Amino acid sequence: AQRVTQPEKLLSVFKGAPVELKCNYSYSGSPELFWYVQYSRQRLQLLLRHISRESIKGFTADLNKGETSFHLKKPFAQEEDSAMYYCALRLTSWGKLQFGAGTQVVVTP
Amino acid sequence: DVKVTQSSRYLVKRTGEKVFLECVQDMDHENMFWYRQDPGLGLRLIYFSYDVKMKEKGDIPEGYSVSREKKERFSLILESASTNQTSMYLCASSFRRVTLAEYSTDTQYFGPGTRLTVL
């Protein structure tokens, strides 16, 4: 069965410290993975997708097929990074996504 | 700017009531989705639609039905609301990608959510 696992429910980091959000997946096909973010009182929105290999707001994520992981990283956390982050796996040609349980990130000054 | 709107921000209903949640998008997207968002469970897909009058069950369709009579509108129906359906409901829409080269086209855009409380 396809699955997305985010082992951390809550991640608390200090401003300026590195932050890494873990995401592991289980999928028999060729995976496409995404990170979505929801800031307080805002809509859920796409942060980045592995296929575009972008750095968005200082965040990067590398797909590691050997470890079936897609961890999200930022070298220096900022207070505005405080949000709920969801890892998602694309399942079908229609674009159906399987989301993880989410990781709440709190960046303290 | 993509706009996905949901009919209500907050809704309080009684057990057994029939509940309608409406979602409208203005980007001519083929795909529309209904999720529920619960702490510790993330987003779970209830139903999705890839065209007018077409629908597919998601992971948790029990107790829900949907309607898509027009391309821009996707309705979620709780036939007889129960307390375990108290949740945040999110609607999303996207284009339907045809080839992998179009990978940037099927981003899902989300509405603001409807927080439903069933008493």
How many Å lie between the alpha carbon of B46 and the closest alpha carbon of chain A? 11
- C-alpha gyration radius of chain A: 13
A15 token code pair: 């401003």
Q: In this complex, is the C-beta atom of A41 within 8 Å of any C-beta atom belonging to chain B?
A: no
Q: Do residues A48 and A54 touch, judged by C-beta distance below 8 A?
A: yes
> pLDDT per residue over A10-39, tens digit each?
999 999 999 999 999 998 888 889 999 999
Which residues in chain B touch residue A95, judged by CB atoms under 8 angstroms apart? 31, 94, 96-97, 106, 108
> Is position B63 within any domain?
yes
Task: Say yes or no for a CB contact (<8 Å) between B48 and A94.
Answer: yes
CATH code for position B20 = 2.60.40.10
pLDDT tier at B105 (50, 70, 90 boundaries)? low
How many domains does the structure of chain B reveal?
1
What is the DSSP pairing of strand B42-51 with strand B31-38?
antiparallel
A87 token code pair: 């890892």
A40 token code pair: 């307080």
User: Which sequence spans correspond to the domains of chain A?
Assistant: 3-108
> Is position B29 within any domain?
yes
> pLDDT per residue over A43-95, tens digit each?
999 999 988 778 899 999 989 999 999 999 999 999 999 999 999 998 877 77
Q: In this complex, is the C-beta atom of A6 within 8 Å of any C-beta atom belonging to chain B?
A: yes
pLDDT tier at B111 (50, 70, 90 boundaries)? very high
Instruction: Provide CATH code, domain A3-108.
Output: 2.60.40.10
Number of Cβ atoms within 10 Å of the Cβ of B112: 16
Q: In this complex, is the C-beta atom of A96 within 8 Å of any C-beta atom belonging to chain B?
A: yes
Range of the domain at B76: 4-97+108-118
Phi, psi of A80 (to 5 degrees): -75, -5
What is the DSSP pairing of strand A69-74 with strand A19-21?
antiparallel
Residue A51: partners with Cβ closer than 8 Å, 6 or more residues away: A32, B100, B103
Q: Do residues B76 and B66 touch, judged by C-beta distance below 8 A?
A: yes
Q: In this complex, is the C-beta atom of B107 within 8 Å of any C-beta atom belonging to chain A?
A: yes
> Is position B88 within any domain?
yes
> Is position B21 within any domain?
yes
Q: Which region, left, alpha or beta, applies to residue B69 given φ > 0 means left and ψ of -120 to 50 means alpha? A: alpha
